[in-house]
Amino acid sequence: MRFKAIFIRVVKELIRDKRTLALMLFAPILVLTLMYFIFNTNSETNLTIGINENVPSTITKEIPKDKVDIKSYENTHSIRKTIEKSELDAYIEKRGSDLYVTYTNEDPSKSSATKQIISTVLQKNKMQDVVNVIEKLPNNLKQSNSKASEELKLDNHYLYGDSDSTYFDKMFPILIGFFVFFFVFLISGIALLRERTNGTLERLLATSVKRSEIVFGYLAGYGLFAIFQTIIIVFYAIYLLKIDLAGSIWLVILINILTALSALAMGIFVSTFANSEFQMIQFIPIVVIPQVFFSGIIPLENVASWISVIGYLFPLRYAGDALTNIMIKGQGFEYIWFDMCILLVFIIGFTILNIVGLKRYRKV
């Protein structure tokens, strides 16, 4: 009954605190929506390339006009001034037998896209030269070569996603888990800190209520809203933002609920080390931000092994892995059970630490 009383009090306080509810329920949706439209709008890189008149027309014609805005120039005295004046992403000219390309490189992603386009154009140009040679061969040789060329067809297949998939498609499942974690961690930590600074927690500890009942009461009260928040975010992302989902939506919800509960337990634990709301905010760069680097958003294949091992200390590493397996790869429970178990370990571990940690505030 004492656990129930604490649970009901926490729920009532959250319902009365409209700003906290808005931050918990609608702020993640707002941020996810902004990121969705910003990233999707910029998923196609629009390039502006300057081409000197001495570049062969066979190369210029092969540049895709839907992706590149081509500007033609006569011989220029300063490539730098031409690029800066016309705001070009690259400038191409022919020097002897070489195709000389100058990349602006203000945005390295545009330089990479330009390199890929030029490489494709040169490959097509070489293939066209081969075709021209075949055309000049005698008929019998031409027919044999044309049959051989007809047998070579490019047929693209994708294990996950399709040809329209972007890097944002990989990021979004992890971002869902991150925002669930971040807002639950922040709000739960500050809320319990407020209970402590206002003396509410001290008065509770002065009664016969067990520390475990207090912790479970707070976990249940905030956990109810954390679960509600998770369901809203998941359904909003999948059904309104139309994020691709290859696996089960119920597994996505389950993983995010475990992520929210682990954030709740960690937030309550970390709040015991803060004496003000400002100090609680100061823990974000230590506890939350590092998890972004190890959640799967940033590839870690080429970093030192001792750095990547740090990621195993954070719950978002397991949440990101599980959400990627479900939403992108379409895998089931047999592929995510280990990540679920580790998230449960985080929840149970920090719950025990919270029960033990409350002992320092019990005066009687």
pLDDT tens for each residue of 66-115 = 778 888 888 777 888 888 888 888 888 888 877 888 888 777 778 888 88
The confidence score (pLDDT) of residue 255 equals 93
Residue, of 194 and 42, whose pLDDT is higher: 194
Residue 321 has pLDDT above 50, yes or no: yes
| Euclidean distance between CA atoms 40 and 17, whole angstroms | 35
Residue 145 has pLDDT above 60, yes or no: no
Rounded mean pLDDT, 200-226? 79
The confidence score (pLDDT) of residue 129 equals 58
Residue 46 has pLDDT above 80, yes or no: no
Q: Lowest-pLDDT range, 35-44, 183-192, 209-218, 349-358?
A: 35-44
Closest by Cα among 176, 185, 343, 328 to 259 = 343
Please tell me whether residue 142 adopts helix, strand or coil conformation. Answer: helix
Residue 264 has pLDDT above 80, yes or no: yes
pLDDT band at 127 (very low <50, low <70, confident <90, very high): low
Structure confidence by residue, pLDDT tens digits, 179-196 = 889 888 888 888 777 777
Task: Write the DSSP assignment of 161-218 as a string of letters.
Answer: S-TT--HHHHHHHHHHHHHHHHHHHHHHHHHHHHHHHTTHHHHHHTTT--HHHHHHHH
Residue 163 has pLDDT above 50, yes or no: yes
Closest by Cα among 200, 192, 185 to 347 = 185
The confidence score (pLDDT) of residue 189 equals 82
Give the CA distances from residue 233 to residues 166, 179, 182, in Å, rounded to whole numbers and listed in that order. Answer: 21, 9, 13
Instruction: Domains for the chain: give ranges and CATH numbers.
Output: 2-40+166-361 (no CATH), 47-150 (3.40.190)
Extract the tokens encoding 87. Answer: 């705001």
Query: Phi and psi for 192 in degrees, rounded to 5?
Result: -70, -35
Residue 64 has pLDDT above 70, yes or no: yes
| Euclidean distance between CA atoms 300 and 257, whole angstroms | 26
Residue, of 73 and 138, whose pLDDT is higher: 73
| Euclidean distance between CA atoms 295 and 312, whole angstroms | 10
Residue, of 207 and 94, whose pLDDT is higher: 94
pLDDT band at 158 (very low <50, low <70, confident <90, very high): low
Select, from the ranges 110-119, 248-257, 299-308, the one with the highest average predicted confidence (pLDDT): 248-257
Asked if residue 50 lies in contact with residue 74, where contact means CB atoms within 8 angstroms, the answer is: no
In this prediction the pTM is: 0.71
pLDDT band at 151 (very low <50, low <70, confident <90, very high): very low
pLDDT band at 11 (very low <50, low <70, confident <90, very high): confident
pLDDT band at 257 (very low <50, low <70, confident <90, very high): very high
Residue 42 has pLDDT above 60, yes or no: no
